[in-house]
Structure 1
């Protein structure tokens, strides 16, 4: 059984496997050294980050990252709400940040920031041209 939500009263059942070897005691931890942090890199506007593998470029969060600061309307829907009028949220503003599972939208009219999980994202309408990764056409092999 997998526990998805934290519950202070839940105790995971202990299962014993007779085939498992006895665990070794842990060694004392050594003090950590500070990792080297590379200096921040600024990209000229209009360029596309080259650090993404080709297959991962077209994910929605990467496309939203390319369009940070671009005005648009962002549509979200929530299937679990009680009232039908409450299950849709449309925000007019711009993307401030986008992660693997979330997006931060800044609403222009109210100056509010919203953090939405990507599972609720439906689609976006941008006022201008959508920035997207360059498309290369591969010749078909027959």
Structure 2
């Protein structure tokens, strides 16, 4: 069918910018992926442990947060250009060297 391919193409840019605005983060959820998304472009150090992997039982990744999803984060090492996809399940904790963009209204106390 002529022209069908054009309907399957995604617009350029991040998904939240496709329709001329940003998609608000859910107000009732403060998941790591949302915190990482709020801090795209900042340098993070991610500490991981990898069960059943004798070569990489613990590994540290450092880079610019490019994107995050429910199950992974994408970091870019600005010195080497290497990209890392780190699984959320392996993350123990992470640090930033600068203040975070964070929306504390995600946490709504039940008290």
With normalisation by structure 1, the TM-score equals 0.57
Contact 1:92 1:108 in 2 (8 A): no
Q: Deviations over 1:93-138 (max 9, x none)?
A: 1111100111111122321001121101121110100111143897
Q: Higher helix proportion, which one?
A: 2
**Partner residue in 2 for 1:87:** 57
How far apart in 1 are the matches of 2:65 and 2:89? 16
Unmatched tracts of structure 1, length 5 or more: 1-33, 44-48
Q: CA RMSD in A?
A: 3.0
User: Higher Cα Rg: structure 1 or 2?
Assistant: 1
Aligned length: 99
Unmatched tracts of structure 2, length 5 or more: 1-6, 12-16
Cα 1:138–1:121 shift into 2, 3 Å: closer
How far apart in 1 are the matches of 2:93 and 2:59? 11
Q: 2:20 aligns with which of 41, 50, 73?
A: 41
Q: Higher strand proportion, which one?
A: 2
Higher relative contact order (CA 8 A, sep 6+): 2
**Partner residue in 1 for 2:69:** 99
